[in-house]
Structure 1
Amino acid sequence: MLTSATYDVRRLGAQLRSGVRGTVHDDATARALYATDASNYRVVPDLVVVPTDVDDLAAAVALTAAAGAPVTMRGGGTSMAGNAIGGVVIDASRHVNKILDIDTAARTALVEPGVVLTHLLAAAKPHNLAFGADPSSGSRATLGGMIANNACGAHSVAWGTTADNVRALEVLLADGTRTTFTSHGDRGALTALPGAEGELHRRLTGFVDANETAIRQRFGLFTRQISGYALHELLPERGYNVAALLCGSEGGFAATLRATVGLTPLPAARVLCVLGFADSIASAECVPTVLAHSPLTMESINDQLVDRLPGEVRRAAIDAGLPAGRAWVLVEMGGEDLMAATMAAEKMLVALKDSGSPATASLVTEPAAQAVLWRCRTDAAGLATRRADGAEAWGGWEDAAVPPHRLADYLRGLDELMARYGLAGASYGHFGEGCMHMRIDFDLLSDDGIRAYRAFVEEATDLVVALGGSVSGEHGDGRARSELLGRMYGADGLALMAGMKDIWDPRRVLNPGVVVDPPPLDADIRHQAPLQRKALTLFAYPDDNGDFAQAQRRCVGIGKCRQTSGGVMCPSYQATREEKHSTRGRAHLLWEMLQGDVVTDGWRSTEVRDALDLCLSCKGCLSDCPVNVDMATYKAEFTHHHYAGRPWARPLSHWSMGWLPLWSRVAATAPRLANRLARGPLVKRLGGIAEEREIPRFAEQTFTSWFAARPVNAGPRGQVLLWPDSFTNHLAPQVGQAAVAVLEAAGYQVVLPARPVCCGLTWISTGQLNAAKRRLTSSLTTLAPHLDAGTPIVGLEPSCTAVLRRDALELLAGNERAHRAARQTHTFAEFVLASGWQPPQLDAQALVQTHCHQHAVLGFDADRTLMAKAGIAADIPDSGCCGLAGNFGFERGHYQVSQQVGERVLLPAVRNAAPQTTVLADGFSCRTQIAQGTDRRALHLAELLAGGL
């Protein structure tokens, strides 16, 4: 939503630029990037400030508040309730993110607000300590945001909420006072302090004394009563815990500068009990029985979430111990050793059986298997945004909690309510705390749908209140629930919260409109306003009803792409840590491009072009993003339209590397001359190639010419067509030769297409989609006899194989040959493994780099199995993208990021590998990055197997 500011934005921007050392943004890119979070809401900020350190953060808050402008503190932007959007957004995640101290004796840590939870957990783990609150968004959620929302997480049933684990908070008040509040304060001493600090404590204690009875009756009635302010924390029996009061105040009382948090000792051993039920209501009925045995966690998922998991993960979960059922409860038990933890779990299972519970159960002790099962739960927030049939589902009623013994009653009532409104959804949550998260297929795109949404949440609120519950059990109130607090607390309860807000922030400049004085819950819904542009696209987007806008709505802002350790997604963000280089940031900018009121140039947008420039097109988001955002495809689509009718505006690299298959065929006529020319600086300048890069050498003899000179070797098991991709054919023919040797050893006659073929990969990655379609169509025509005959096709280059398996279907929608090719195309490992051939026993050690497209599109299970069958002990580091990524790492301006990505895990792992360890990488880009960044040469799996024949 675009609104007129009530203050002089330009003047404040100038004051901030002169008063802080960080960056101050008022450009379209920054305002678009920070207009949304992980909620259904959109409010475009006036300014975005990225301070450099704690003092800079304090200065930014003080200047903004003094100007009467709304101060909106932001961490990872993972708020699901719209808690941190609009006004002047101050992003603490970029630089104010240091772990300052870990005191193992006191079991505390001193952190800045931008510290990501998993970073704190990693720092505490060597000391066998952890932070007790651990939400599933912990790989990107910051401690400042967790404090603001009083985040809880899976282990809160045993270790408490954030408020229970905060010892002290150093904050900046709205009037510029910088002070510290602790978890247990001496009221008398604090009220005797001089100045503004003492006056604040005198007003707080006076407020509590005047309203003590009302506070006891309304606040703090059960653990997950997160909605509203935690006024009960100031009661005498709570120890006058001002730090805990600040937790859950959603930035409305003060800005956190530093936090001292308590750390919990980790149990020596844990086991996971997975309980299966026919439905969620039956699973909820086991809660009291399980809670009696003091579990560490008690988390729920249902079949709608499991069905949305990637097939590979779903199968792994079943193998790991997911029992029969349609709803599951994950119960974690701890102990001083594995035997004690197992005995505790078995005792709980006996009690469950004696209670008459219909649960099926499995007991999982292996950590790797536990991790697979936990992924089913941790990815739930994203998985639930799309139903198995592709329909969109949303938050909005996703965070209510009731006392745990009333949970089954709540779910029954909610089912009845949803049936009355014709709604369906997927649920998951913290059963041990009575807190349910949901994604429901609300219609948030039309006026009628919005009205129905409002009516539903009002009735659902009444249901929760009748059961003694809270409309928020974890994520805070924000824009989604603040308006509902009147139904929960009544007018007198609202008056108490308004009075508390006035004590801390009388000018109402700290995150205004949240908890107190809220806008309507159905205002500023991000997708309600009609898009300004209907995008006509070349890709079909079959999973999004052919609608590019619906594809952009996949990103609901969860921010898993902002994680900085592990996984393939998102390599450029892991290198730069800038929001616009995350998958989420790019998706938001694409959506804003379609909306058209902030990013106004449509397909010609330079804001979107610049954000997409560092996208490596690795497709990691397609598999690692819980909602399967496919930024590589979106980038190709955008790039095609951005340069449509303007070929002169394209980067030079689009003509050099985008047309690589053509130039390779030219080079094949005189490879020595081509290689000499490629070593000179002129080719790099004319081709837009980074000076630091060495251009790979063209082979003296192409793979296809080598193959044509061979005698025909008929195989008893029939024909297999080997796809001669441009990289194998012109740059690495030894890979093709090795594949021929293996396939013939397996009993097949290897054939090649009758004419040159190309999948169009390089044209796709550079957004030259019409050219790609022509080459794909021509190649499929060449393949027609083999497609008609059902001949299996084996690909050696993962990126080209992925085009045949996926991209071709979307680029040539309705082309039956493309569908046949996708069905008949196999990776080298898939085909060899399925053939039943026994490979040679190599007794080898290998460091293996998984190609991004293998990870995201093709799957890597067959490679693992084939290597094990051949006696290859594979070390497969969680390295993510190699950093070269086809043309990306060769392009001028990309070398530094390319190397940063490679140096994150892969290149150091290769350098540290023992000399006798073989380095394996099926992708030509991966092998090139390894060759140019280390002194090792990587092999294709086909080469290693062929060497053992």
Structure 2
Amino acid sequence: MGTDEGTHRELAADLRSAVAGDVDFGASARALATMDASNYRRVPAGTVAPRDADDVAAVLEVCRAHGVPVVPRGAGTSIGGQATGTGVVLDLTRHMAGIVSLDPRERTAVVRPGLVLGRLRDAARPHGLTFGPDPSTHSRCTLGGMIGNNACGAHSVAWGTTADNVRSLEVMTHGGGRLTLGKDGRGAPPGLLDLVDRNLALLRTGYPPGLPRRISGYALDALLPENGRDVVRSFVGSEGTLGVVTEATVRLVPLPADPVLVVLGHPDETAAADAAAGLLAYGPLTVEGMAADLVGPAAKDLPRGGAWLFCEVDGEDAARDLVRAADALDAAVVRDPAGQRALWRIREDAAGTATRVPGGGEAWPGWEDCAVPPARLGAYLRDFRALLADHGLRGTPYGHFGDGCVHVRVDFDLWTPAGVRDFRRFSEAVAALVVAHGGSLSGEHGDGKARAELLPKMYGDELVALFGEVKDLWDPDGGLNPGMLVRPEPLDSGLRFEGLGFEGPGSGGRGSGGPGSAGLPLVALGREAARCVGVAKCRAEGPGTGDAVMCPSFRATGEEKHSTRGRARLLHEMALGEVITDGWRSEEVREALDLCLSCKGCRSDCPVGVDMAAYKAEFLDRHHAGIGGLLRRPRSHWTMGRLPHWLDLFGRGLNAALRLPFAARLAGVAPERTLPRVADRTFTSWFADRASARTPDLTLWPDTFTDHLSPRTGRAAVRVLEDAGLGVRLPEGRVCCGLTYVSTGQLGAARRVMRRTLDVMEGAEGVRTVAGLPVVVLEPSCAATLRTDLPELLPDDPRAARLAASVLTFAEALETLAPDWTPPLLDRPAAGQTHCHQHAVLGDAPDRRLREAAGLTGPLAGGCCGLAGNFGFEPGHHEVSLACAEDQLLPALRTAPATAELLADGFSCRTQIEELTGRRARHLAETLAEALEEGFDGRETP
């Protein structure tokens, strides 16, 4: 047993004896805390989730005795690396996440540090109040994290930074002191105010003036007599280096009575930046800037221009005044709340969207959020763009133009030593540029490791030395978040990309190992997972996330390891091999991926497009490789994972077997589930017996679910498509997209199935038997598999790309192939489920338009139904499956009118609805067919 291992074991034992909260020194817990949303990685000894302030005190006492540092952590969305550490990480989100009280009259709230900002805003909204600072991560960032970094957000031009909105703090020092911080020196540790008084001249002259977003360093000027000796303000932004916040009293502000969003179009980014400061006199609540190179296709929905200012004001009169005063090319005034949300979503996703460099490549934080005086922003951006070009780098600035604060992600090469050297050179050069413009190295996210080393450029050696003296007064043992803000480690050390530099065969994609290969090498999968930048949109909670799918298992469990980010971190660590040491055989990774529903929601909802469903398939394929792996495969992989084969082989003969008392256990199915019944007659046999003289306009895909389990859906689709004047044909042979094989990580079998399918569709020798017809797929999961997994798993087979490009959904087919067809008018409300794969891969705009044309009103539920193919049938998943359904689907069904038409195009969604509610949902094709043909019984049994 190594020394560190033995020390950590003793530390863990002492912590378990001392605290009531959760102590976890296991590989998974450590791996999940190695990174935040920065470029950095530090491996902790373990994690503790304290239950209350007494637990925090106990943790500090034990760690002090062991000489182990402590790092407080909220949602882990810090950009500078300050939420990582080598000692014990305090997870304040699990138990210390409540609202103690909310006083509408006094406009204050008392909160715990792990409280998610969105929950505070939800609680304050019925009183017409909100918490002013609102970072784009408001659905997952915590109040403690905001206090640590002095977070700001879009409304800071009106309501200021977090420091402007905190009244008092309850703080625990590393030495065990419990302090209540306030103004007039209240709560200052002994010697702090004396130190300030001995350095009055330095503190009065050492901070740059005119900076609403000066976040760098310690705010010691708040302790000056003329500034009220404000200990709270001096503490906010200290990045967990001075004390641990256990409770905060925060100020609430009135919500605008009539929020109106004004979008101003300008010729380019610097023109927008030059205009921003002039708008502040008109009292806007926000002045946010973005340019066309970040907005992308969404620019079509914005006013004319190459860059835009997003200005929220209170009332239509204020909006008119702002438009008149603005020197803009074009303007739009948006009062509709839904329209405003759609536009703000573009801004909120920018932290992830900015990681995609136009034309390919990825960009990273590292020079994320400097700030200059607002009047200098245009000049700074011109110089900054020139500096990027001089260094051969690309980045897309955006951010809080009204405050002079700019976010940007740059396409640094952080994988190679040469690239890291260039990263350091650029960081030094841009720091000098910011200082030359009178700016702050950090304008929102704090210094962390990314900028602390450069603070002498901004403040000079004397003031930075004073920061060190202040740190020593608060934390003489140096046990709180060492290496942050003072005595920092080099900014180019401890990068999370170290160990993942990999070039060579198999590094380019899921199928790059070649036909029949096992897929991605371990380090290449680690590089894929490293794309996760940690902004944690997968941890989003509360209102405003209802149109998203990601991440249903996190919503159900609340555990980081069951979020997309958590799984990406575990895969990252698996590839590095330091914390998770058994590679593809890792039980930690398998356990985390076990509750991944393969919903593909992260493929679209994650700002950087992390595709955990694909990573899970790759992992399971390699985890179960070899004889030992095959023997460890769950029984459900052999039964449900190969369902198309068994249905083709036995058909309705399976019904008798499935009625046996031990059938579920033998099949590896959860005992709570009822197995679906196989239809007496397949859809393909019904189609083969009907005569049609029509010239085919499309090929209808007879997926396994439609063919064997829900043939009525296929019959209904044929009825509707032919009513629209379209000739329908089926493939001349058995086809399968390979979905069930992919989702259970049987990728070799999936490729074989896919190649046989391509042989049917085009011929083994490339002779096209489909004659280029569109392929209409009724089951959304199968359509998504054909569009994405097929070409990714067979990248060297051109037939795969052709088939993927030919796929249409049912609604897409009617819209594109029969644009003049009018559906029957049903004129009733609708409720049900938009399939998660539809949301993530296919899009549902044509479906919404088709429902609207048919008079089916109301949105369908988002999220995931929770059954997700084989997932909900597998033992141990039933509780999570139900929790996923309770997130959005079941509440929507309970509140739907009794007359509502229940719709769900996915077979899994329909099965989940019927099993949990006793009501049968239908594919949209069934509903339309029933209306078209008198006597068509869409409700007949299979």
If the TM-score is normalised by the length of the shorter chain, which range does it land in? over 0.9
1:223-372 correspondence to structure 2 within 5 Å: 223-307=212-296, 314-315=297-298, 318-319=300-301, 322-334=302-314, 341-353=315-327, 359-372=329-342
User: Given the alignment, which residue of 919, 923, 937 partners 1:936?
Assistant: 919
Report the equivalent of 1:36.
Answer: 35
Report the equivalent of 2:490.
Answer: 520
Q: Tell me by how many angstroms 1:587 deviates.
A: 0.8
User: Given the alignment, which residue of 674, 677, 680 partners 2:660?
Assistant: 680
8 Å CA contact 2:71–2:89 kept in 1: the answer is yes
TM-score between both structures, scaled by the size of structure 1: 0.93
1:597-608 correspondence to structure 2 within 5 Å: 597-608=578-589
Cα distance between partner residues in 2 of 1:708 and 1:529: 57
Deviation digits for residues 510-540 of structure 1 (CA, Å, limit 9, x no counterpart): 1111111101111101113345998948823
Report the equivalent of 1:135.
Answer: 135
User: More deviation in 651-660 or 207-216?
Assistant: 207-216
Q: Tell me by how many angstroms 1:141 deviates.
A: 0.6
Q: Tell me by how many angstroms 1:400 deviates.
A: 0.6
Cα distance between partner residues in 2 of 1:331 and 1:787: 56
Cα distance between partner residues in 1 of 2:63 and 2:120: 30
8 Å CA contact 1:155–1:296 kept in 2: the answer is yes
Q: Which amino acid aligns with 1:124?
A: A
8 Å CA contact 1:61–1:255 kept in 2: the answer is no
Cα distance between partner residues in 2 of 1:392 and 1:304: 14
User: Given the alignment, which residue of 864, 868, 875 partners 2:859?
Assistant: 875
Report the equivalent of 2:615.
Answer: 634
Report the equivalent of 1:735.
Answer: 713
- In structure 2, relative to structure 1, the CA distance for the partners of 1:59 and 1:294 (3 Å cut) is same
Deviation digits for residues 464-487 of structure 1 (CA, Å, limit 9, x no counterpart): 112211000000010001101111
Cα distance between partner residues in 1 of 2:189 and 2:13: 35
Report the equivalent of 2:121.
Answer: 121
Cα distance between partner residues in 1 of 2:576 and 2:783: 35
User: Given the alignment, which residue of 192, 198, 205 partners 2:193?
Assistant: 205
TM-score between both structures, scaled by the size of structure 2: 0.94
Deviation digits for residues 152-211 of structure 1 (CA, Å, limit 9, x no counterpart): 0000110010010011111111111223112x33x4xx5xxxxxx6xx555222122211
Three-state SS of the structure 1 residue aligned to 2:742 is helix
Correspondence 1:80 to 2:79: yes
8 Å CA contact 2:777–2:810 kept in 1: the answer is yes
Report the equivalent of 2:97.
Answer: 97
- In structure 2, relative to structure 1, the CA distance for the partners of 1:545 and 1:318 (3 Å cut) is farther
Cα distance between partner residues in 2 of 1:810 and 1:318: 30
Aligned length: 909
Cα distance between partner residues in 2 of 1:714 and 1:96: 70
Deviation digits for residues 54-96 of structure 1 (CA, Å, limit 9, x no counterpart): 4323322332234321110000000000011112111011221
Correspondence 1:840 to 2:824: yes
Q: Tell me by how many angstroms 1:236 deviates.
A: 2.2
Three-state SS of the structure 1 residue aligned to 2:922 is coil
8 Å CA contact 1:531–1:594 kept in 2: the answer is no
Report the equivalent of 2:877.
Answer: 894
Deviation digits for residues 267-296 of structure 1 (CA, Å, limit 9, x no counterpart): 111111212223211111102221121110
Q: Which amino acid aligns with 1:351?
A: A
Three-state SS of the structure 2 residue aligned to 1:285 is helix
Deviation digits for residues 127-161 of structure 1 (CA, Å, limit 9, x no counterpart): 11110000001111110000000000000110010
Q: Which amino acid aligns with 1:799?
A: S
- In structure 2, relative to structure 1, the CA distance for the partners of 1:11 and 1:138 (3 Å cut) is same
Three-state SS of the structure 1 residue aligned to 2:248 is strand
User: Given the alignment, which residue of 207, 210, 220 partners 1:219?
Assistant: 207
Deviation digits for residues 854-902 of structure 1 (CA, Å, limit 9, x no counterpart): 000000000000111111113323x300000000000011111111111
Cα distance between partner residues in 1 of 2:500 and 2:640: 39
Cα distance between partner residues in 2 of 1:92 and 1:533: 39
- In structure 2, relative to structure 1, the CA distance for the partners of 1:680 and 1:534 (3 Å cut) is farther
1:762-841 correspondence to structure 2 within 5 Å: 762-784=740-762, 788-834=770-816, 835-836=818-819, 837-841=821-825
8 Å CA contact 2:526–2:574 kept in 1: the answer is no
- In structure 2, relative to structure 1, the CA distance for the partners of 1:54 and 1:533 (3 Å cut) is farther
Cα distance between partner residues in 1 of 2:411 and 2:202: 38
Q: Which amino acid aligns with 1:487?
A: K
User: Given the alignment, which residue of 703, 713, 720 partners 2:692?
Assistant: 713
Cα distance between partner residues in 2 of 1:217 and 1:252: 24
Three-state SS of the structure 1 residue aligned to 2:326 is helix
Deviation digits for residues 780-834 of structure 1 (CA, Å, limit 9, x no counterpart): 1111276651111110100001111111010111222212211211000111122
Structure 2 gaps, min length 5: 514-518, 933-942
Q: Tell me by how many angstroms 1:325 deviates.
A: 2.5
Cα distance between partner residues in 2 of 1:540 and 1:227: 46
Report the equivalent of 1:159.
Answer: 159
Cα distance between partner residues in 2 of 1:728 and 1:600: 44
Q: Tell me by how many angstroms 1:676 deviates.
A: 3.6
Deviation digits for residues 204-254 of structure 1 (CA, Å, limit 9, x no counterpart): 221222112211212373221100001111122322221121110111111
User: Given the alignment, which residue of 663, 668, 675 partners 2:646?
Assistant: 663
Report the equivalent of 1:407.
Answer: 377
8 Å CA contact 2:34–2:42 kept in 1: the answer is yes
Cα distance between partner residues in 2 of 1:51 and 1:299: 38
Cα distance between partner residues in 2 of 1:744 and 1:4: 75
Structure 1 gaps, min length 5: 191-196, 308-313, 335-340
8 Å CA contact 1:541–1:551 kept in 2: the answer is no
Report the equivalent of 1:579.
Answer: 560
Cα distance between partner residues in 2 of 1:393 and 1:41: 15
Three-state SS of the structure 2 residue aligned to 1:875 is coil
Report the equivalent of 2:733.
Answer: 755
Cα distance between partner residues in 1 of 2:29 and 2:452: 27
Cα distance between partner residues in 2 of 1:99 and 1:680: 52
Runs of 4+ in 1 over 6 A off after TM superposition: 3-7, 532-535
Cα distance between partner residues in 2 of 1:522 and 1:657: 48
Report the equivalent of 1:693.
Answer: 673
Cα distance between partner residues in 2 of 1:406 and 1:640: 55
8 Å CA contact 1:846–1:872 kept in 2: the answer is yes
Three-state SS of the structure 2 residue aligned to 1:425 is coil
- In structure 2, relative to structure 1, the CA distance for the partners of 1:530 and 1:802 (3 Å cut) is closer
Cα distance between partner residues in 2 of 1:607 and 1:201: 43
Q: Tell me by how many angstroms 1:5 deviates.
A: 6.3
Among all aligned residue pairs of Structure 1 and Structure 2, give the percentage whose two residues are the same amino acid: 53
Q: Tell me by how many angstroms 1:347 deviates.
A: 1.6
8 Å CA contact 2:44–2:89 kept in 1: the answer is yes
Report the equivalent of 2:511.
Answer: 540
Report the equivalent of 1:562.
Answer: 539
User: Given the alignment, which residue of 344, 349, 372 partners 1:374?
Assistant: 344
Cα distance between partner residues in 2 of 1:793 and 1:78: 43
8 Å CA contact 2:506–2:512 kept in 1: the answer is no
Three-state SS of the structure 2 residue aligned to 1:392 is coil
8 Å CA contact 1:275–1:359 kept in 2: the answer is yes
Three-state SS of the structure 1 residue aligned to 2:443 is coil
Cα distance between partner residues in 2 of 1:576 and 1:531: 34
- In structure 2, relative to structure 1, the CA distance for the partners of 1:318 and 1:53 (3 Å cut) is farther
- In structure 2, relative to structure 1, the CA distance for the partners of 1:461 and 1:588 (3 Å cut) is same
Three-state SS of the structure 2 residue aligned to 1:30 is helix
Three-state SS of the structure 1 residue aligned to 2:164 is helix
User: More deviation in 559-568 or 580-589?
Assistant: 559-568
Cα distance between partner residues in 2 of 1:54 and 1:870: 58
Report the equivalent of 2:443.
Answer: 473
8 Å CA contact 2:506–2:520 kept in 1: the answer is no
Q: Tell me by how many angstroms 1:926 deviates.
A: 0.5
Report the equivalent of 2:940.
Answer: none
Cα distance between partner residues in 2 of 1:479 and 1:173: 22
Three-state SS of the structure 1 residue aligned to 2:363 is coil
Report the equivalent of 2:936.
Answer: none
Three-state SS of the structure 2 residue aligned to 1:84 is coil
Cα distance between partner residues in 2 of 1:61 and 1:393: 38
User: More deviation in 157-166 or 239-248?
Assistant: 239-248
